[in-house]
Amino acid sequence: MRQDHAKNQRVAEAFYDHARQAVAESGLPVVEVDDTQQRGSDFGARLANAFADAFAAGYDRVIAVGNDCPTLHEVDWTGVVTQLAADRPVLGPTPDREGAYLIGLTRAQFDRAAFATLPWRSSELVPALRSHLEAAVGGRPVRLTPRADVNGHGDLMRLLRGASAPPALAERLRHVLGDAFRTHQAEQRGATRPVLKRRSRAPPSPRPGSHT
């Protein structure tokens, strides 16, 4: 059990480092908020406080990103900044439309109390967030290309079987998973291997008690 926890921690660290590199390469100022800096009794409160702290630090536009999006490095950061400079909020949804990998807001568009009480971590989040932002600006937020995030073991295995993961991240994750990933690969090959049945060229033999 302790070994599984350590492995999960190393997987989380791999994604965190990938997200840190992706935003660092954007050239934008970066404010990291880790578990020790978060404040609030639930996810919504913690995220709202993180936004509020960034605005209190003097930023007029804030972009929040998740650390579980393996293609975060492909975001057009210049385009996001351009939209925010034109007072248009930006929303990057996941393909299932149940989450967001990026939320960009200006100071005027941020309502701390309303933001904190949105249905975070539920299937109702994106519609509720979109409606919230529409009310804040009187128009629809800019919607980015949907990007998948990784929320569990199944998502992680699908990521490593596909071609969307950056090579460095994929290699690090395979190293962390070790035998678990190799076992999964073997199981997948066994599940998809076709079963061939040899057909007899001779007529079927009569069963006892039957007539030919």
Q: What does the pLDDT look like over 111-146, one tens digit per residue?
A: 999 999 999 988 899 999 999 999 888 888 999 999
Using the predicted structure, report yes or no on whether residue 198 has a pLDDT greater than 70.
no
Among the residue ranges 1-5, 64-68, 96-100, 135-139, the one predicted with the least confidence is 1-5
* Pick from 133, 125, 2, 1: nearest CA to 66: 125
The domain ranges of the chain are: 2-143, 153-192
Class of domain 2-143: alpha beta
- pLDDT surpasses 90 at 18: yes
Mean pLDDT of 52-56: 95
Question: What are residue 101's phi and psi, to 5 degrees?
Answer: -95, -10
CA angle (1 as vertex; 18, 176 as ends), nearest 5? 30
Give the separation between CA 25 and CA 60, rounded to whole angstroms.
Answer: 21
Could you tell me the two tokens for 167? 């090579």
pLDDT of residue 66: 86
What mean pLDDT do residues 166-175 have? 91
Alpha carbons 119 and 123: distance in angstroms, whole number: 8
Whether pTM > 0.85 for this model: the answer is no
- Let me know: does 101 contact 92? Beta carbons within 8 Å: yes
